[in-house]
């Protein structure tokens, strides 16, 4: 067991972990931040995406100890300070970018990383970027639309509600 | 009014903020144990010896149970008690649970589960259709046969005739949230179970059997699933039962969740099918007679295979009037995961069979596929199409099913084959065999709207012009070829096991005017809860925000059917409407009396209640009713009228109504590699008078993509030892974001359902899945452009299969 400490959603946290404890486990079981989901356990579905020092990371692929001292952001920390939804969250709600919602936290976190890198992505860029995020429910259409809308682009041309 | 509004999913806010809770997210009480199964490493044989010392002494392990340690029923089957939770000797598939480990952490349990030392007496597994036929390994005593007209005569007399075969693979559900359950022991031997399940009553029933307690001692709750698609209709039984048994023995809460690999190795998938056909037709392409043979590999246990195979037979006609038809269905027992429910429940497989025939006939005649399809359509809806006005079936007392699980779709009797003894829901009145516009199972089709829908879709999709453009484009391009295809969907709505077509609801109105809503349906992302809440809000004339949606709970609404067969909002919406109407009418009666007016003069609208000349808030009206000692709590109940079905004879009215859809897909293939892409998709789908157009369109988009995935990239591979080789997303390819078509037009055919459903809406969960068939047909069309021969494209049309089909087209 070893001690780790990191900043999660702006708060300093610390805990005891084994060398093999994954960041996802630490967040979910150690900190009760269960919005980070486990969909595949093998780094393929993207349900567990969080931000580590501003980069999108699949937290089932990173050891908690690797995040020692890092600045970690999870879905629970995405809303605005006053509790209102941020622009990406709002767009997922308004454009029906979710059904069962299990992929949603990872999608929102990936989308945030994309828009930071590329504030006005094309539809094709959104789709390529989300290659590592699986959604089994929506067929992706409304997810892409939500992200386009969140980037301030007109989505009326993207057919179908 | 709150219905028909495109409101977002009720839990959207919780999802985007990470607060929505799934079973795996529930905070665990101190001392909770985590469970994992030790599974078989062979596909068929007997356990010779099981040495579990190493498992028991592994770090963190608290208990290890085998079949001998189970106090009561060792069974998790939803049908005929043929599915032991833990093997009692025989091994039926690779991945079968043999023992269960309880440990202090999920990882400790999984690691220990690998340490079992098991020796087997191996037997040769039955894996292929040929193996199973040779061994006569099947469910039921022989094939089921449904027949209409004089098939052999029709075939011999037809001017044209051809034969063919299509093989179609199964499909992994890949619900993004894996199976999970949590059992919390209570005082006096009671058990509370949180289960990611579409069928809480089934879980309750199996847990009660396993604990040797009445159903009243078990309460099952589920707020939401992270996807279900049929994979959580029966496949959650094993986890819930294991957790409950260990919890009862240890007195500690127990939790189990399958890791993705375990989930794919242990649980059942969509049934794969081989369909052989022999069809007689005329020069226009009109089908005169057809003989289908379905072969399906059901895996090792019966599960829901009989109704799945039945539904495949019931959709062998899809949208086409078949004057003479025979459908023979073999349900084969193989040493693989037990195939189970998956969106469409056999319907897609049956439908792909006839769609392939349409293509084959069109190719043989050199005619357009859309044209041949239209020629074969059922006749259009007649004006007296109120589907609930039929009344040709007499209700009949249910037979007693002592050994079966009544609340499960698996509760179909393995038949005597006589047809007389195993009727469900009522006798049928025979329809004359030459009756016009009837299905091969003698149900008149009275609500057929595909003629108009097809006109509209082919027009908006610009089918004719694009088809001509494609032909020119293909003539100029050698390496890449494009294809386009139209396909319709007619899907029957109702549980074919008639008595499952019932639902209950429980509604409370509190003194402040807030409303507590509960019903038997489960939420798996489809938006059922929101739709039903919209119905409740509409009844009380309030905003949907006044309605609190609560977790499905067997302690609130008992004896529920699975949320399956697309029936969720049809059944539960009606039950909720009934409960709300009861309360509303009580309030109205109270106010009418106080204000000296008639009940009809009490109006609930816009969050207010108007009575006589007075207007008050809904909350004020409720408070007044409370003070006048009016009960503000009610149950509601609904049963679908007019359905009755004899699955042995293959006659009757299994469906309350049909839901329709139509699709045009365009693809491009690389003839050197078989790689392919969807370029454009146009969908027109019938959701009746939609309860929520946004949620319905979401179902249509998601259903299409999932259906197209089934028929293109999603390939399940078992090796010849029976090992599933595609047990993770690394090898099993479900559609990704970049796979979706560049142009994706989706529209609702917004017309009221002639059947008396809730606000005249139609079920929308499963039907759009089958719109994905158009993608497969478009790929076949592209292959056809490579040469003069029929490409005979099989499914899934992986790149390899497309390449083979290109070769076949070239000859
Ligand atoms: S759980 Fe991390 S990528 Fe799937
Ligand atoms: S909404 Fe269910 S997986 Fe994306």
Q: Which of A26, A56, A76 is the last residue of a domain?
A: A76
Report the pLDDT averaged over residues B280-299.
Answer: 98
Q: Please determine, for residue B773, whether its predicted confidence score (pLDDT) is greater than 70.
A: yes
Give me chain B's average pLDDT, please: 93
Same domain, A69 and A94: no
Q: Please determine, for residue B392, whether its predicted confidence score (pLDDT) is greater than 70.
A: no
Q: Is B714 inside a domain boundary?
A: yes
Reported confidence tier of residue B375, pLDDT bands at 50, 70, 90: very high
Which ligand places an atom closest to the C-alpha of B729?
1
Q: Please determine, for residue B412, whether its predicted confidence score (pLDDT) is greater than 60.
A: no
Q: Is A9 inside a domain boundary?
A: yes
More confident residue, B404 or B371: B371
- Which residues form the domain of A110? 87-150
Q: Please determine, for residue B416, whether its predicted confidence score (pLDDT) is greater than 60.
A: no
Q: Is A156 inside a domain boundary?
A: no
Same domain, A14 and A62: yes
List the beta bridge partners of residue B163: B278
Of A104, A131, A137, the CB nearest to B737: A131
Same domain, A68 and A99: no
Decide if B174 contacts B729 (C-beta within 8 A).
yes
- What percent of chain B clears pLDDT 70, i.e. is strictly above it? 94
How many Å apart are CA B806 and CA B800, to the nearest integer?
10
**Residue closest to B782 by CA, chosen among B791, B794, B769:** B791
Decide if B671 contacts B132 (C-beta within 8 A).
no
Please give the pLDDT value at position B404. Answer: 55
How many Å apart are CA B637 and CA B17, to the nearest integer?
35
Q: Which of A52, A76, A100 is the last residue of a domain?
A: A76
- How many distinct structural domains can be found in chain B? 4
pTM for the structure as a whole: 0.94
Reported confidence tier of residue A95, pLDDT bands at 50, 70, 90: very high
Please give the pLDDT value at position B406. Answer: 75
- How many distinct structural domains can be found in chain A? 2
Q: Please determine, for residue B193, whether its predicted confidence score (pLDDT) is greater than 60.
A: yes
B717-766 pLDDT, tens digit per residue, is 999 999 999 999 999 999 999 988 889 999 999 899 999 999 999 999 99
How many Å apart are CA B355 and CA B349, to the nearest integer?
10
Taking the centre of ligand 2 as the mean of its atom positions, its distance from the CA of residue B317, in whole angstroms, is 32
Reported confidence tier of residue B390, pLDDT bands at 50, 70, 90: very low
Please give the pLDDT value at position B141. Answer: 87
User: Do the bridges between strand B33-39 and strand B254-257 make them parallel or antiparallel, or are there none, so unpaired?
Assistant: parallel
DSSP-assigned states of every residue in B223-289: S--S--TTTTSSTTHHHHHHHHHHHHHHSS-EEEE--HHHHHHHS--PPEEEEEEEEEE-TT--EEE
Q: Is the peptide bond before B609 cis (omega within 30 degrees of 0)?
A: no
Please give the pLDDT value at position B740. Answer: 81
Helix (H) or strand (E) holding B110: helix B106-113
DSSP-assigned states of every residue in B147-167: EES-HHHHHHHSSEEEEEEEE
Decide if B381 contacts B437 (C-beta within 8 A).
no
Report the pLDDT averaged over residues B307-315.
Answer: 97
Same domain, B628 and B520: yes
B216-238 pLDDT, tens digit per residue, is 999 999 999 999 999 999 999 99
* φ/ψ (deg, to 5) at B213: -125, 160
Q: What is the CATH number of the domain that holds B312?
A: 3.30.365.10
Same domain, B672 and B771: yes
Q: Is B298 inside a domain boundary?
A: yes
Q: Please determine, for residue B428, whether its predicted confidence score (pLDDT) is greater than 90.
A: no
B493-537 pLDDT, tens digit per residue, is 999 888 999 999 999 999 999 999 999 999 999 999 999 999 999
Q: Which of B237, B257, B277 is the last residue of a domain?
A: B257
Taking the centre of ligand 2 as the mean of its atom positions, its distance from the CA of residue B467, in whole angstroms, is 34
Is the CB of A39 within 6 Å of ligand 1?
A: yes
Q: What is the CATH number of the domain that holds A145?
A: 1.10.150.120
Please give the pLDDT value at position B401. Answer: 35
Give me chain A's average pLDDT, please: 95
Is the CB of A38 within 6 Å of ligand 1?
A: yes
Q: Please determine, for residue B293, whether its predicted confidence score (pLDDT) is greater than 60.
A: yes
In chain B, what residues touch A104 (CB-CB under 8 Å)?
A: 15-16
- Are A45 and B729 a contacting pair at CB < 8 A? yes
Same domain, B83 and B16: yes
Same domain, B537 and B575: yes
Report the pLDDT averaged over residues B147-172.
Answer: 97
Is the CB of A136 within 6 Å of ligand 2?
A: yes
Decide if A90 contacts B8 (C-beta within 8 A).
no
Same domain, B140 and B242: no
Lowest mean pLDDT among B4-8, B47-51, B464-468: B4-8
- Are A92 and B526 a contacting pair at CB < 8 A? no
Is the CB of A135 within 6 Å of ligand 2?
A: yes
Q: Is B538 inside a domain boundary?
A: yes
In chain A, what residues touch B12 (CB-CB under 8 Å)?
A: 92-93, 96, 98, 101
Same domain, A50 and A114: no
Q: Is A23 inside a domain boundary?
A: yes
Q: Which two tokens stand for residue B511?
A: 């003194």
Is the CB of A98 within 6 Å of ligand 2?
A: yes
Same domain, A45 and A91: no
Q: Which two tokens stand for residue B710?
A: 């089934």
Please give the pLDDT value at position B296. Answer: 98
Same domain, B628 and B605: yes
Decide if B168 contacts B795 (C-beta within 8 A).
yes
In angstroms, what separates the C-alpha of A55 from chain B's closest C-alpha? 19
Which ligand places an atom closest to the C-alpha of A37?
1
Please give the pLDDT value at position B330. Answer: 98
Report the pLDDT averaged over residues B418-443.
Answer: 52
In angstroms, what separates the C-alpha of B697 from chain A's closest C-alpha? 7
Same domain, A67 and A118: no
Lowest mean pLDDT among B190-204, B383-397, B549-563, B573-587: B383-397
Decide if B235 contacts B213 (C-beta within 8 A).
no
Taking the centre of ligand 1 as the mean of its atom positions, its distance from the CA of residue B171, in whole angstroms, is 21
Lowest mean pLDDT among A113-122, B186-195, B561-570, B773-782: B561-570
Q: What is the CATH number of the domain that holds B217?
A: 3.90.1170.50
Q: Which residues of B are catalytic?
A: 766
- Which residues form the domain of B456? 378-387+430-496+655-810
Q: Is B319 inside a domain boundary?
A: yes
Same domain, A91 and A58: no
Same domain, B240 and B315: no
Please give the pLDDT value at position A157. Answer: 64
List the beta bridge partners of residue B660: B490
Q: Please determine, for residue A153, whether its predicted confidence score (pLDDT) is greater than 90.
A: yes
Please give the pLDDT value at position A158. Answer: 63
- Are B737 and A40 a contacting pair at CB < 8 A? no
Please give the pLDDT value at position B383. Answer: 52
Please give the pLDDT value at position B419. Answer: 31
Q: At what angle do helices A87-94 and A104-117 cross, to 10 degrees?
A: 130
B104-136 pLDDT, tens digit per residue, is 999 999 999 999 999 999 999 999 999 999 999
Radius of gyration of chain A (CA): 16
B433-471 pLDDT, tens digit per residue, is 444 799 999 999 999 999 999 999 999 999 999 999 999
Same domain, A13 and A63: yes
């Amino acid at each position: 067991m070893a001690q780790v400490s990191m900043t999660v959603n702006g708060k300093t946290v610390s805990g005891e972990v084994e060398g093999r404890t994954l960041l996802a486990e630490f967040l979910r079981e150690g900190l009760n931040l269960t919005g980070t989901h486990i969909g595949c356990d093998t780094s393929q579905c993207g349900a567990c995406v969080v931000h580590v020092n501003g980069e999108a990371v699949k937290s089932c692929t990173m050891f908690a100890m690797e995040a020692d001292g890092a600045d970690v952001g999870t879905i629970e920390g995405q809303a605005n300070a006053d509790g209102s939804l941020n622009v990406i969250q709002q767009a997922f709600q308004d454009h029906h970018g979710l059904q069962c919602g299990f992929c949603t936290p990872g999608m929102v976190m990936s989308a945030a990383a994309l828009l930071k890198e590329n504030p006005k992505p094309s539809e094709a860029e959104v789709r390529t970027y989300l290659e590592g995020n699986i959604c089994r429910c929506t067929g992706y259409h409304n997810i892409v639309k939500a992200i386009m809308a969140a980037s301030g682009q007109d989505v009326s041309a993207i057919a179908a509600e | 009014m709150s219905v028909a509004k495109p409101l977002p999913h009720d839990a959207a806010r919780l999802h985007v903020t990470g607060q929505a809770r799934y079973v795996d997210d529930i905070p665990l009480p101190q001392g909770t144990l985590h469970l994992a199964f030790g599974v078989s490493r062979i596909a068929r044989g007997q356990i010779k010896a099981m040495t579990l010392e190493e498992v028991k002494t592994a770090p963190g392990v608290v208990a290890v149970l085998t079949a001998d340690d189970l106090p009561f029923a060792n069974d998790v089957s939803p049908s005929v008690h043929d599915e032991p939770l833990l093997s009692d000797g025989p091994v039926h598939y690779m991945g079968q649970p043999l023992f269960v480990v309880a440990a202090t952490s999920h990882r400790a349990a999984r690691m220990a589960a690998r340490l079992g030392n098991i020796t087997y007496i191996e037997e040769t597994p039955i894996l292929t259709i040929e193996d199973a036929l040779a061994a006569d390994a099947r469910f039921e005593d022989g094939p089921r046969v449904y027949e209409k007209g004089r098939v052999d005569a029709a075939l011999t007399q037809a001017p044209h005739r051809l034969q063919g075969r299509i093989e179609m693979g199964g499909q992994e559900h890949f619900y993004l949230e894996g199976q999970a359950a949590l059992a919390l022991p209570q005082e006096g031997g009671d058990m509370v179970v949180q289960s990611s399940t579409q069928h809480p009553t089934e879980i309750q029933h199996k847990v009660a059997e396993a604990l040797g307690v009445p159903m009243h001692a078990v309460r099952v709750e589920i707020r939401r699933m992270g996807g279900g698609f049929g994979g959580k209709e029966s496949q959650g039984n094993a986890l819930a039962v294991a957790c409950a048994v260990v919890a009862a023995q240890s007195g500690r809460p127990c939790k189990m969740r399958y890791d993705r690999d375990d989930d794919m190795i242990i649980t059942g998938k969509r049934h794969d099918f081989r369909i052989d056909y022999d069809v007689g037709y005329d020069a226009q392409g009109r089908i005169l007679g057809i003989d289908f043979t379905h072969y399906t590999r059901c895996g090792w246990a019966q599960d829901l295979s009989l109704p799945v195979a039945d539904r495949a037979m019931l959709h062998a006609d899809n949208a086409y009037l078949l004057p003479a038809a025979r459908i023979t269905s073999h349900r084969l027992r193989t040493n693989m995961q037990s195939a189970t429910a998956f969106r469409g429940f056999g319907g897609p497989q049956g439908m792909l069979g006839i769609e392939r025939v349409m293509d084959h006939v069109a190719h043989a005649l050199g005619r357009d596929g859309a044209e041949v399809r239209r020629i074969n359509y059922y006749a259009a809806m007649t004006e007296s199409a109120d589907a609930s006005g039929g009344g040709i079936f007499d209700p009949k007392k249910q037979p007693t099913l002592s050994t079966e699980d009544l609340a499960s779709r698996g509760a179909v009797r393995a038949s005597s084959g006589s047809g007389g003894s195993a009727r469900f829901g009522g006798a049928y009145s025979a329809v004359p065999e030459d009756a016009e516009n009837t299905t091969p199972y003698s149900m008149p089709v009275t609500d057929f709207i595909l003629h108009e829908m097809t006109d509209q879709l082919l027009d908006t999709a610009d089918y004719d012009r694009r088809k001509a453009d494609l032909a020119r484009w293909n003539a100029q391009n050698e390496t890449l070829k494009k294809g386009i295809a139209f396909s319709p969907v007619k899907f029957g709505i109702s549980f074919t096991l008639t008595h499952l077509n019932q639902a209950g609801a429980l509604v409370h109105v509190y003194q402040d005017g807030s409303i507590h809503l509960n019903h038997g349906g489960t939420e798996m992302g489809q938006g059922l809860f929101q739709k039903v809440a919209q119905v409740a809000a509409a009844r009380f004339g309030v905003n949907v925000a006044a309605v609190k949606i609560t977790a499905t709970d067997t302690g609130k609404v008992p004896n529920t059917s699975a949320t399956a067969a697309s029936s969720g909002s049809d059944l539960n919406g009606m039950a909720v409407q009934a409960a709300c109407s009861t309360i509303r009418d009580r309030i109205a009666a109270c106010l009418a009396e106080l204000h000296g007016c008639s009940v009809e003069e009490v109006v609930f609208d816009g969050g207010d209640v108007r009575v006589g000349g007075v207007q008050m808030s809904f909350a004020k009206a409720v408070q007044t009713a409370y003070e006048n000692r009016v009960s503000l709590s009610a149950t509601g109940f609904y049963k679908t009228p007019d359905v009755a079905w004899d699955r042995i004879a293959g006659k009757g009215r299994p469906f309350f109504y049909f839901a329709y859809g139509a699709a045009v897909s365009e693809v491009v293939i690389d003839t050197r590699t078989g790689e392919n892409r969807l370029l454009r998709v146009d969908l027109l789908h019938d959701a009746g008078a939609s309860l929520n157009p946004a949620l319905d369109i979401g179902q249509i988009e998601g259903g299409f993509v999932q259906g197209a995935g089934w028929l293109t990239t999603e390939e399940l591979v078992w090796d010849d030892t029976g090992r599933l080789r595609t047990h993770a997303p690394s090898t099993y390819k479900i559609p990704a974001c970049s796979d979706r078509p560049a142009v994706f037009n989706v529209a609702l055919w917004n017309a009221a359902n002639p059947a008396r459903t809730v606000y005249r809406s139609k079920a929308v969960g499963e039907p759009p899945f089958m719109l994905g068939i158009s993608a497969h047909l478009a790929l076949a069309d592209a292959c056809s452009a490579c040469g003069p021969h029929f490409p005979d494209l099989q499914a899934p049309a992986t790149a390899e299969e497309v390449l083979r089909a290109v070769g076949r087209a070239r000859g």
